[in-house]
């Protein structure tokens, strides 16, 4: 029961984090309020929707108003705080990373509940964590998608792998492992972004390539 509540709390916190990241990204592109709502919605439910379609279970936001209400309220709050956007930028990067960590763990848990192979569970976790942010960037036509994307991927796969190892081969409490892994994913991503800032020239783009 406590565990169930913790998992629901993780899902709602992740939804809030991604809805904020989607809203602010959409406001940076100067969309109107309904456009912002759409981007916030896609960012926060995109990953879980693909996960549920792959698992062939009912899509989590279709029969329950909690998630949609959370997205809606987060969106309104983000728009009210629009004026302080610049100050929020670093905070928001952290929020986006927290969302990534939270959703990756939720995805892995749903895969474990369906008795899937551990590697498939990590794949599901990565999909749950990454698809929302990737969709947001594609819809907003953001050019440097590729840089963010790989950081998403690396953090999810490494963090998810460590989560599975800690759950299976240690006697640490499940709640502790969840929170530790989420913080680890946030840390990996933050490190990766800092690292990228230092060596941007290695990431040349070669669009003339034949393939």
Site for a second copy, rule CB under 8 A: 21, 24-25, 28-32, 34-35, 37-38, 41, 49, 53-56, 58-59, 61-63, 65, 68, 72, 89-90, 92-93, 96, 116-117, 119-120, 123, 126, 130, 134, 138-146, 149-150, 153-154, 157-158, 202-207, 209-211
CB of 48 to a second copy, least distance (A): 12
The separation between CA 107 and the C-alpha centre of its own chain, rounded to angstroms, equals: 10
**CB of residue 175 vs a second copy: minimum separation in angstroms?**
27
- Tell me whether residue 6 or residue 162 sits nearer to a second copy (CB atom): 162
How many Å apart are CA 186 and CA 161, to the nearest integer?
15
Buried b (16+ CB within 10 A) or exposed e, 67-93: beebbeebbeebbeeeeeeeeeeeebe
Burial of 176 (0-12, 13-18, 19+ CB in 10 A): exposed
Question: Smallest distance from the beta carbon of 193 to a second copy, in angstroms?
Answer: 9
Tokens of 134: 């990737």
2 or 90: whose CB is closer to a second copy? 90
CB of 176 to a second copy, least distance (A): 26
Cβ atoms of residues 31 and 39 within 8 Å: yes
CB of 112 to a second copy, least distance (A): 13
Q: Which CB sits closer to a second copy, 2 or 56?
A: 56
Residue 1 or 204 with smaller CB distance to a second copy: 204
63 burial (CB, 10 Å; 0-12 / 13-18 / 19+) is: exposed
């Amino acid at each position: 029961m406590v565990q169930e509540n913790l998992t629901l709390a993780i899902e709602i916190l992740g939804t809030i984090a991604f809805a904020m990241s989607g809203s602010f990204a959409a406001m940076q592109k100067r969309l109107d309020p309904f456009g912002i709502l759409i981007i916030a919605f896609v960012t926060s439910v995109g990953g879980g929707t693909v996960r549920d379609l792959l698992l062939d279970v009912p899509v989590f936001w279709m029969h329950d108003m909690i998630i949609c209400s959370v997205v809606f309220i987060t969106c309104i709050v983000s728009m009210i705080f629009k004026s302080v956007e610049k100050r929020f930028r670093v905070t928001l990067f952290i929020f986006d990373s927290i969302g990534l960590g939270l959703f990756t763990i939720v995805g892995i848990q749903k895969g474990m509940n369906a008795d899937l192979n551990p590697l498939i569970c990590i794949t599901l976790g990565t999909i749950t964590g990454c698809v929302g942010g990737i969709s947001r960037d594609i819809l907003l036509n953001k050019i440097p998608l590729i840089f963010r994307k790989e950081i998403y991927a690396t953090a999810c796969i490494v963090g998810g792998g460590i989560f599975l190892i800690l759950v299976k081969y240690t006697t640490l409490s499940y709640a502790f492992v969840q929170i530790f892994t989420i913080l680890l994913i946030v840390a990996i991503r933050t490190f990766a972004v800092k690292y990228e800032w230092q060596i941007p020239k290695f990431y040349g783009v070669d669009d003339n390539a034949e393939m």
